[in-house]
Amino acid sequence: MKFWLSIIYQSERKRLFIGLFWSLLTMLSGVGLLALSGWLITATALAGLAISAGLIVKLDMYMPGSGIRYFALSRTVGRYIERLYNHDTILRLIATYRVTIFKALSHKPLHEIRQTSDSEWLSRLTSDLDALDGILIRYTIPTLATGLVILLVSTFLCFIWFDFAAVFFLTAVLSWMLLIRYSVSQTRGTAKASIAQLNRTRESLISHIKGAFFLSSQDMMTAHQAHTLVELSLFEEHHSALQKRVAKLQFVTDSLFGIALSAVFFSGLWAVGNQIIEGPTAIMLALLFIGVSELLQTIPEQFSTWGKTEYASERLKKLASTEIETDLTHINHIQAIACKVNNLSTIPASFEREISFTLTDTKPLFITGRSGAGKSTLAKLLFKLTPAVQPGVDIEINEHSLTAISSKSLYKVCSYLEQSPSLLSGSLYYNLTLGLKDVDEQRVFDALAKVELLEWADALPEGLNTWLGESGGQVSGGQARRLCLARLLLRDPAMVVLDEPFNGLDSTMAKRIYDRISPWLEARKSIILLHEVPSFVLGKGVDYQHLDVDLK
């Protein structure tokens, strides 16, 4: 957790110390209120007994009474401000953590990001991120404040009974350190197992919900539900095991402090008997001990989540500490592309075959082949969605190796339309113009017309401002693919790769769309991945290049 602690110290150092002050004030006020109230009650009772026995005694009730009112008020105010202030600091820290992680993710290789499932990202960017608030509110501020309370109370006790103060300080500090260490060691493994199982359970539940229609239609809902229930049962077992460990720790802690309280009580009686301290002072010492022990007794519960936080911090650190690409070539145009690939990952090793092409002009390159022949793999290699650092892969752009080219500059001049549409949660206009500034609505309508979605867009209740739902859930798959194509038409890449752009369209509509986008394709370097060159292209007399990746 050192990485995240360093962020706390660097970004919120001042707030950390202010929050520590308010937490310390609250704790000291609670301990002081308990001790002073006990002293005053005892002193008042003894004074009453003395008076009833005919003795003359003097007791100032106003000074300790004022102290009690002060501690009661300062504890209430301190607790309110401490909660408000420290939770505000946590919100600021979570925002800082998010920025740190998202900045690192923006530089992370896309092929690594795509290897992580949606449910895994959900866990990392929600529950894992929220778990980091324990670093400040559970382990840092309360622990430091408790240590300072022990020091200040011990210093105060030195003026009353030095020997007791020395024993109290050594015992309290030792208990403070051992409790933290023992609580962490006893719960770390179980807590990690619990949170890991929670992630697996969440993944199973999400896949169950997302596949509900398919599972129901194929009569597999009960079978998959049984698997999900097993995951839930395992999580319950891990969580129950963790709670049992915490309960045992708490029982041992409470028992030891009960024994220690008895020792303090008898020490006080002995000191009163030997006239080292007075009776009310002995009660005050016992109540001081109770006040401090209450702080120490919360440690098992506080540190029972250490394993969960450690698990989350380790996973998020891998995201936040991603190395940024440095010393790489930046490109701002596409002059030539040379590609030579042996044995694509989708082709069995026994069928090694070289696939190569060079693209230097704007004649469209049609790459054809059956499903599984490696067309999409080839496109993903070009866009670093699959690591290009592997045997048999040699791709150059402008005579620079692809691995030596900055991903950011590559994506500025190249665009890729995947087979699966990628719409975002937002309006139609937002999805089409994302990343563009001041796009004229007429350009948007022209792009929609080219993909034959203009009439559909005009019929929407709010036109371009219509909300498309999460991941474009309000539109059909075919509409989503054409919207992604329209989004591409609004940009000006130097090279474009279209992966099965006419999939799901009848030949008549596909021909109309191709005729409309042909001038746009011929104005740049373009690669189109299809099962075969369409008849409407063959019959058009367009000058194009063709590469067949099928095994012969």
Q: Which helix (H) or strand (E) holds 492?
A: none
pLDDT 10s digits, 524-537: 999 999 988 888 88
Question: Sign of torsion, CA 203 205 208 210?
Answer: negative
Taking residues 130-149, what's their average pLDDT? 92
The residues, ordered by sequence, that sit 6+ positions from 332 with a Cβ below 8 Å of its Cβ are: 409, 412, 413
Select the highest-mean-pLDDT range: 131-135, 151-155, 516-520. 151-155
pLDDT for 350 equals 39
What is the biggest distance separating any 2 CA atoms in the chain, rounded to whole angstroms? 125
- Answer for the pair 356, 340: CB distance below 8 angstroms, yes or no: yes
CA separation for the pair 401, 490 (Å, rounded): 29
Q: How would residue 338 be classed by pLDDT, with cut points 50, 70 and 90?
A: confident
pLDDT for 287 equals 93
CA separation for the pair 236, 309 (Å, rounded): 19
Any idea which of 21-35, 229-243, 421-435 has the lowest mean pLDDT?
Answer: 421-435
Residue 381's nearest CA partner among 261, 547, 482, 527 is: 527
Q: Has residue 384 got a pLDDT over 90?
A: no
* Cα atoms found within 13 Å of the Cα of residue 299, Cβ hemisphere only: 29
pLDDT for 142 equals 94
> How many residues are there in the chain?
552
pLDDT for 16 equals 93
Taking residues 47-56, what's their average pLDDT? 72
pLDDT 10s digits, 76-111: 999 999 999 999 999 999 989 888 888 888 777 776
pLDDT for 5 equals 87
- Say which CATH architecture domain 363-384+407-548 belongs to: 3-Layer(aba) Sandwich (3.40)
Taking residues 541-545, what's their average pLDDT? 74
CA separation for the pair 378, 355 (Å, rounded): 9
Q: Has residue 324 got a pLDDT over 60?
A: no
Taking residues 282-288, what's their average pLDDT? 92
Taking residues 64-86, what's their average pLDDT? 93
pLDDT for 542 equals 66
CA separation for the pair 76, 68 (Å, rounded): 12
Number of other CB atoms surrounding residue 100 within 10 Å: 19
CA separation for the pair 296, 290 (Å, rounded): 10
DSSP 324: P
Average pLDDT of the residues of the chain? 86
Taking residues 310-320, what's their average pLDDT? 85
Q: What angle is formed at CA 83 by the lines to CA 81 and CA 87, rounded to 5 degrees?
A: 120
Chain centroid, CA 170 distance in Å: 40
Taking residues 271-278, what's their average pLDDT? 91
Q: Has residue 548 got a pLDDT over 60?
A: yes
Taking residues 208-215, what's their average pLDDT? 82
Helices 141-158, 13-52: crossing angle, 10 deg rounding: 40
Residue 313's nearest CA partner among 139, 78, 440 is: 139
pLDDT for 387 equals 72
pLDDT for 552 equals 45
Burial 501-540 (b: 16+ CB within 10 A, else e): bbeebeeeebbebbebbeeebbebbbbbbbeebbebbeee
Q: Which two tokens stand for residue 220?
A: 């597999």
- Answer for the pair 347, 339: CB distance below 8 angstroms, yes or no: no
Residue 316's nearest CA partner among 116, 137, 139 is: 116
DSSP 147: H
CA separation for the pair 288, 157 (Å, rounded): 10
Taking residues 106-133, what's their average pLDDT? 76
Number of other CB atoms surrounding residue 286 within 10 Å: 21
For domain 2-320, give its CATH number from 3.40.1190.10, 1.20.1560.10, 2.60.290.11, 2.20.25.570: 1.20.1560.10
Q: Has residue 256 got a pLDDT over 80?
A: yes
CA separation for the pair 527, 547 (Å, rounded): 10
CA distances from 338 to 109, 382, 388 (A): 22, 10, 14
CA separation for the pair 542, 163 (Å, rounded): 100
Give the domain ranges of the chain: 2-320, 363-384+407-548
The residues, ordered by sequence, that sit 6+ positions from 38 with a Cβ below 8 Å of its Cβ are: 280, 283, 284, 286, 287
- Answer for the pair 154, 172: CB distance below 8 angstroms, yes or no: yes
- Answer for the pair 337, 397: CB distance below 8 angstroms, yes or no: yes
Q: Are 2-320 and 363-384+407-548 in the same CATH fold?
A: no
pLDDT for 351 equals 43
Q: Has residue 137 got a pLDDT over 70?
A: yes
